[in-house]
Amino acid sequence: MKITYFRGVKTKDTKFFHSVYRLCTMWKLPSFLARTLTSGTSGLPLLPDMAEGHLPIHVNNVRSRLRDIVGASTNWRDHVQAMQERKALHTLLAKRQEDLPPRRMKDSYLEVILPLGSQPQIREKYLNVYNSVRFGRILEDLDSLGVLICYTHTKQEMQPRSPLSIVTALVDKINLHKKVVHPDCDIKFTGNVSWVGKTSMEVKMHMLQLHDGDYCPVLDATFVMVARDPENKRPAFVNPLIPESPEEEEIFKQGEMNKLKRIDFSTASLLKMAPTAEERNIVHDIFLNTLDTRTVSFRSRVLPPNSVWMEDAKLKGLQICHPQERNIFNRIFGGFLMRKAFELGWATACSCGGSRPFIVSVDDIMFQRPVEVGSLLLLSGQVCYTEKNYIQVRVHSEVYDADTREHHTTNIFHFTFISENEVPRVVPKTYGESMLYLDGKRHFAATMKEI
């Protein structure tokens, strides 16, 4: 049988090669980038210059490319030496952003192929018990791709290794267009840098799946990445981004608006500000509806019909963070944290709703502090808000230091699920639970407005 090499991938599967070739010739890109990468007066799309790096990358090669870019070792025992070697790269950092050459959106554009249809041997890693694709694995792939896109944006031709340490700071939003992702059809990820600050970059990514010869949209994702120095201690400047068309200018403006929205949402956080008058009325109505009219006591509470106390709608989990799950900087991989949080969130929604939940949206995942290898990671999933078939779940993750006996929050995750059946109404009992309820209601309202 003929052996084919494609972008460093050795395969006897000619279906994969032909599917990639068909992808290149069809070239169905997300709408904004498809128009950006076309030219000519005939109105027919032209293929971009393949020498610019627009050939699809196999999903298995993304992590290896990242290791090559930063000089990370594949052996855990060599990681200390590898990090020591990166200290010498400090001299390559720019003193000002103005010293770095500007980039275009298409300069960072990448495509990644997940050949579930043409390479069946990789399916099992992505398969769930319902014979569909595990969304947690998709989160891992999106996280790796987002980092690689940013390294592509900041790449300097004369530097074999990047002095930057680029990490995920925030998952702003992931919206899904389909409830089920098929495990036997090829998947394509596309993405590029859409906005740049001084030391941060917004990345927009899209996931599509092959059906009847066409790639159909599955999800859209917006991540925010930050660049730091070689030791991952201080911020570092990144190349500015220059929009080339009115459409790209609009995308760039949207990135700036997203930044302002995040600031406004953080400012209005219930951890900083009191609830609004309308929200206070909601909490008080819940309180009145749960009072026991027979005792006329503030302490005696009665659960309304088709409801569940918030304290009974949560699950917890523990994860030991082994070296296998480390990233290129020898901290625990952010995609792994997202996968574990999602799986606990899904189980929490399933136990509350009593039927299979489907992910609708992910939003506002803030990476507050890195998780070190060897940490004890504590995860707590809580149903915060329900409405009809929808379930809003918050997952809180923290690390436990056995020496100091201290807990430190690392992430807060927000997931919106839809259940096959109508779900019970979740009811808070304490003031703290009421704040969680209102926060969940805010995130749910923001999600519904988006989709």
DSSP letters for 355-409 = S-EEEEEEEEEEE-S--BTT-EEEEEEEEEEEETTEEEEEEEEEEEETTTTEEEE
What amino acid occupies position 420?
A: E
pLDDT value of residue 54: 66
Residues of the chain with pLDDT under 70: 1-54, 76
If residue 34 lies in a helix (H) or strand (E), which one and from where to where? helix 31-36
Q: Is 394:440 a contact under the CB 8 Å cutoff? A: yes
Computed over every residue of the chain, the mean pLDDT equals 86
Q: What is the pTM of this model?
A: 0.84
First to last CA, the chain: 48
pLDDT value of residue 255: 94
Pairing of strands 165-176, 357-367: antiparallel
Cα(223)–Cα(335) distance, integer angstroms: 12
Q: Is 192:108 a contact under the CB 8 Å cutoff? A: yes
pLDDT value of residue 143: 96
Angle between helices 135-153 and 62-70 (to 10 degrees): 40
Q: What share of the chain is helix, strand, coil (3-state, %, to 5)?
A: 35, 30, 35
User: Tokens for 330?
Assistant: 């020898």
Q: Is 373:330 a contact under the CB 8 Å cutoff? A: yes
pLDDT digits (tens, 9 = 90+) for 311-347: 999 999 999 999 888 888 888 899 999 999 999 999 9
**Which residue carries 């599967």 as its tokens?**
13
User: Tokens for 103?
Assistant: 């980039």
Q: Which backbone phi and psi does 120 adopt, to 5 degrees?
A: -60, -20
Name the DSSP class of 304.
Answer: P
pLDDT value of residue 268: 86
User: Tokens for 145?
Assistant: 């791709």
